[in-house]
Every structure is written in C-alpha cells, then in structure tokens.
Amino acid sequence: MTAGDEGFLTLSIGVRVSPEPVVIELLHRYKDALNYAIKKILDNNLKTLKQVHNFLYRDLIEIFNLPSRIAVDCYRDALANANAWRNNPKRGKRPVVKKLSMLLHPGSGYRIKDGYIEIIGGMRLKIIGWDRRYDDYKNREARLIYKRDKMILWISKKIPKPKKYTPIDVIGVDINEKKIVYGDEIINIKKDTAIDKAYKYVRLAEDLQRKYSSSRYLVWRRRKRILNRIRSYHEKARNILIDWTKKISLEIIRLAKDLRYGVSREDLTNLIKSLRKLPKDHKTKLIIMGYSRFERWIDWQAEKHGVPYVKVDPNGTSLECPKCDYKGLEEVGYRRFRCPRCGFEADRDVIGKLNVRKRGLRKLGIIPRGGALTPLTAPQMTDVNPNR
C-alpha cells in the first residue's frame, strides 16, 4: 500500500504461491548478491545505474549465478537500498538485507500463465490464492517474498483514483491512545483503540524475556524456542494493531461515503514527533505505530473510495467551544466541559470530535444543511465497542 500521485493509486496485490525449494535457493542467492552489491556500491561510491552495471553485472552472474535479468533487478534493488541509506540523515550502520525478498520485472523477470507464476530461468510457482479484483490493470514491478513458510508475489499496479464527490457535511475523527470518537453533531461513535489489547501481548513477551534471561536457560535449543515465542507475541501485538487500524479506517470511510460526507482528522505529525523523543518503551512504540498507521490507512481508504478528506491542526481541539469558538472551556465534571460564554456543554471526546469536524468543514468550505455550525439540539448517540 502506497499513496498515489496525479490521479493514480499504486497498490500491491498479493499472489500466494506454493514455495519451491529451487526458488527458495534462488532467493538466498539473491540476498547474498544484494548484500555484496550494496557493499560494493558504498565502498566505491557508485551513483548511477550505468556505473553500477559496469561494476557489478558480471559479478552477480558469475559469482552468484543469477539469471541475467535478475542480476539487473538485483543491482537496481541494491542501488535503491544504498541510496536510501546515503540519504538518511540519521543513518547508522550500513544496511544489511536479511529478508528473502526479490525484485522482479514484469515480462522479462516474471509472468503469469495458466495458474502459475513463471520466473525467468524456467522456474514455476503454482498460484494458491489471488485477489482478482484488479486483474484488468497492468502488472508492474513485483517482489517475491518468502517468510515463515509462505511465499507471496506482491505485484504493483496503478489504478485511476476514483472521482471525489462534493461533500454535504463532515465526519470529524478524534483519536487518542485509548479511544477513537467520530461522527458529526448527531452521530457519535466511540470505540476503544487496540493499543491496550496489543500491549497485553507485548507484556507477555517481556515477561518471558525476563524469566528466561538468566544463564540457566541459555541452552541453545531451549533458547531458540523461547525466542520464537517472544517474537510471536510481538508479532501478535503488531497484527492486532494493524488489523484494528484497517478495520476502523474502512468503517469511517464507508460511513462518510454512505452519507456523502467528507472526513476530517487531526494532523498527528507533531504529536508523533514528540512521542519519538520520549524514552522508547514498548507502549510508546505501539502508540507511535498506531497513530502513523491510522493516518496512512484512513487517507488511503479515502483515496480509494473517492471520499474527500482533510487533516486539521489538532491544537486546542479539546479546549475550544465547538459552537462559539471561545477558547477556555471550564471543567464541570469528570471529563465534562462547559463554555462560559454560550453555555454549550459536552464530554471531552465529543468536544474533540466536534472541533475536528468544525475545522474540517471550514477547510473544505462546507456549510452544513442545518445552516450555522453545530446547533446542538439532538441527543448524542453513543455506540460503544461491543468487543470489550
């Protein structure tokens, strides 16, 4: 998933294939060749594809026995890796690729034929599972990845962005580490985020790590099993968070689309930046990941569904009156605030949501059907997450 440009979206379509030993072996050789090429590119400060070709093409074929087309993709991949490292101001050690992941060019590097993926050099992989929704769009560059006994070819495709409609109102989205609240002045949907649920698994991993860090347990076999369990807990936490983010983003975008609304969310860039400065405990890491994934997914879903969206300044969204803009609401109960100027009163979450909506309406230049902003006469419906 990557955001698109000028009227196009770039998506990656996963094609699951049955792993063949000969291809796994090729992936290992490719990885070794890639690391060799990255090292040579950095050692010799190679910059252009032509330089890289002259320097490495023969080696990749002769030392690593790569088919010629794959050798070309391999040094292109290496140059991209080397450039990413060179352009990173905070770069640490030189990059070493550990994943089994091979770049493949459509046509000369791979093609799809009769239920198989054919890779140059006569290798064939049987297709097991496939998302066929984007079959009509051209296959572009792909990446073959082998991880945990699963082999997937991720094919990149360009699809035209759907045309955006003119929104009649805006769904405001307010998110914090515990809750997400979204809706307009009538709709108020409130759900728990997945941070706490994900954190439970991180804690299990930490407990295991603590328990087995004593030297008694350093016997290799045992240690490896424990490390795998620790890793799987971390992975579980990550998956919980990613699944939640995808699901909630889609729910919000679908609601907006059904109502012909736009979506307004807070710009979390600065919040994420300041979180990054904190000590890197596991919970902070989860929150950072949660926020940045959320931003990416909701924008992506909006693009994909043709829903107009904006991000707004998050400053003061919880202390400003959504009705009259007065800054300085007074606390009148637990998380409950009141405007001393106009008398408007609501829960903190609701106020956040309404202000995000209000800023979105202004940014998109929409005057909602009710006319003036937020005449809060309707009762606030609350939908509490049932999975809790």
- Site residues (vs Zn ion, CB under 5 A): 321, 323-324, 326, 339, 341-342, 344
| Closer Cβ to Zn ion, 245 or 374, answer by number | 374
Q: Between 195-211 and 282-305, two packed helices, what is the crossing angle to 10 degrees?
A: 140
Handedness of CA 226, 280, 235, 20 (dihedral sign): negative
Minimum CB distance to Zn ion, residue 346 (Å):
11
Helix (H) or strand (E) holding 235: helix 220-259
Give me 54's structure tokens. 């002259």
| Closer Cβ to Zn ion, 154 or 326, answer by number | 326
Residues 6+ apart with CB under 8 A from 234: 201, 202, 205
Structural contact between residues 161 and 303, judged by C-beta atoms closer than 8 angstroms: yes
Minimum CB distance to Zn ion, residue 351 (Å):
10
Structural contact between residues 95 and 81, judged by C-beta atoms closer than 8 angstroms: yes
Residues 6+ apart with CB under 8 A from 109: 69, 70, 73, 103, 119, 120, 142
User: What is the dihedral angle through the alpha carbons of 296, 300, 301, 307, rounded to the nearest 10 degrees?
Assistant: 120
| Closer Cβ to Zn ion, 227 or 324, answer by number | 324
Minimum CB distance to Zn ion, residue 320 (Å):
9
Minimum CB distance to Zn ion, residue 323 (Å):
5
Minimum CB distance to Zn ion, residue 182 (Å):
22
List strand residue ranges (DSSP E) for 295-361, in order.
309-312, 330-333, 336-338, 345-347
Cα–Cα distance, 171 to 249 (Å, whole number)? 12
Structural contact between residues 82 and 39, judged by C-beta atoms closer than 8 angstroms: no
Minimum CB distance to Zn ion, residue 189 (Å):
24
| Closer Cβ to Zn ion, 137 or 326, answer by number | 326
Q: Indicate the SS3 state at residue 363.
A: helix
Minimum CB distance to Zn ion, residue 322 (Å):
8
Cα–Cα distance, 274 to 287 (Å, whole number)? 12
Q: Where are the alpha helices (DSSP H) in 109-219?
A: 195-211
| Closer Cβ to Zn ion, 324 or 367, answer by number | 324
Cα–Cα distance, 104 to 72 (Å, whole number)? 10
Cα–Cα distance, 144 to 50 (Å, whole number)? 25
| Closer Cβ to Zn ion, 80 or 324, answer by number | 324
| Closer Cβ to Zn ion, 212 or 326, answer by number | 326
Cα–Cα distance, 69 to 107 (Å, whole number)? 10
| Closer Cβ to Zn ion, 145 or 376, answer by number | 376
Minimum CB distance to Zn ion, residue 325 (Å):
7
Minimum CB distance to Zn ion, residue 340 (Å):
8
User: How many CB atoms are closer than 10 A to CB 90?
Assistant: 4
Give me 225's structure tokens. 């099993």
| Closer Cβ to Zn ion, 290 or 368, answer by number | 368
Minimum CB distance to Zn ion, residue 184 (Å):
18
| Closer Cβ to Zn ion, 167 or 322, answer by number | 322
